[in-house]
Amino acid sequence: MNDSTNLKLVSRADWGEADGKKVYLYTLTNKNGMVVTITNYGGVVTSWTMPDKNNNKGNIVLGFNELKGYQAPPPYFGALIGRYGNRIANGKFTLDGKEYKLATNNDKNHLHGGNKGFDKVVWDATPSTDSSALTLNYLSKDGEEGYPGNLKVTVKYTLTDNDELRIVYDAETDKATPVNLTNHSYFNLTGDVSNNILNHSLSIDADRYTPVDKTLIPTGELKAVSGTPFDFKTSKLIGTDIGKVPGGYDHNFVLNGTSGSMRKVAVLSDSTSGRQLTVFTTEPGLQFYSGNFLDGKLQTSDGKSINKHTGLCLETQHFPDSPNKPAFPSTILKPGEKYHTETTYAVAVVK
């Protein structure tokens, strides 16, 4: 690492170059010694180190030690996702009477912003000097990946002394455009990808979910979770019903409570390590993805294969394909409006 700049609670190290711009790795540390590393390439959370119940430290997110791991094709480890997190059917939508065509990078559908979404660009980064926080800025120009409008995006990561990673998303545009920003961290609370996540317990505060077709596009129905494998109203092991879900979980849950208000929406726990993750958000939806497409071809930096179900995502969001589903909560941001959402991932050790 050629460059190292020490700031009060955030340190920076040279991490390479992409698109002719410098890429850095920022290390956020809180008073408890918890450490989160984030790069301005794709806004990726590359690691999150915390102790288990025996005080052994481990990394609870999947990721790599080098930039090249993130420059390869998806699975979007730890990345900021935009302009539109999740899928848009057939890579197109109509807005104000005009049809917009997007990349079809997920079979016939558009996924996570296209061929070069926000996960593959270099963000401008500003570390805080008085807190363990990092602010990222990016201008997505009119027509980028087929989307209308110049979209100014700001995302702030803060590691608090309460062992929370807070993510605040803000955006403004000069033309109406769909916006749905999220973070795509894969969690494995055991801290070891040799273990799968089927023995993690999960609860999701949602009475309904959005069923999907065979290409994972919502049908438009909001279906009750009761009596289905999607009922996580009471905590249960992920492995309990996953065999009843063709392909595994990759579904949007309709969160209870008032969209726009911060509320607890999910709790993930691992009894072996004692680690627990609680999710709070202002968003109306949560995509629970059980790592179905991880196939062992990727390896961690220490050489361990990243196999199916060795990480899971809890992506706070608006619903998939909302631009083509008028009954879903709108994702259209108009000039003069301000996009603002917040999500907090809080961790703890339960002994």
Active-site amino acid positions: 184, 315
Nearest in space to 184 (alpha carbons), one of 14, 56, 3, 43: 43
Gap between the terminal Cα atoms of the chain: 38
- Cα→Cα distances 312→62, 73, 280, 286, 316, Å: 9, 18, 17, 12, 13
Q: Which two tokens stand for residue 121?
A: 């660009």
Q: Where would I find the beta strands (DSSP E) of 247-296?
A: 250-255, 263-269, 275-281, 285-289
Nearest in space to 114 (alpha carbons), one of 137, 85, 136: 85
Q: Which two tokens stand for residue 206?
A: 């949602």
The one-letter code for the residue type at 32 is N
Residue with tokens 């065979």: 214
Q: What is the DSSP string of 7-28?
A: -SSEEEEEEEEETTEEEEEEEE
| Alpha-carbon gap, residue 287 to 118, rounded angstroms | 18
| Alpha-carbon gap, residue 192 to 232, rounded angstroms | 25
Q: Which two tokens stand for residue 350?
A: 């339960």
| Contact by Cβ (8 Å): 181, 54 | no
What SS3 class is residue 323? Answer: helix
**243: phi then psi, degrees, rounded to nearest 5:** -65, -15
| Contact by Cβ (8 Å): 176, 332 | yes
List residues bridging with 51 in a β-sheet. Answer: 57
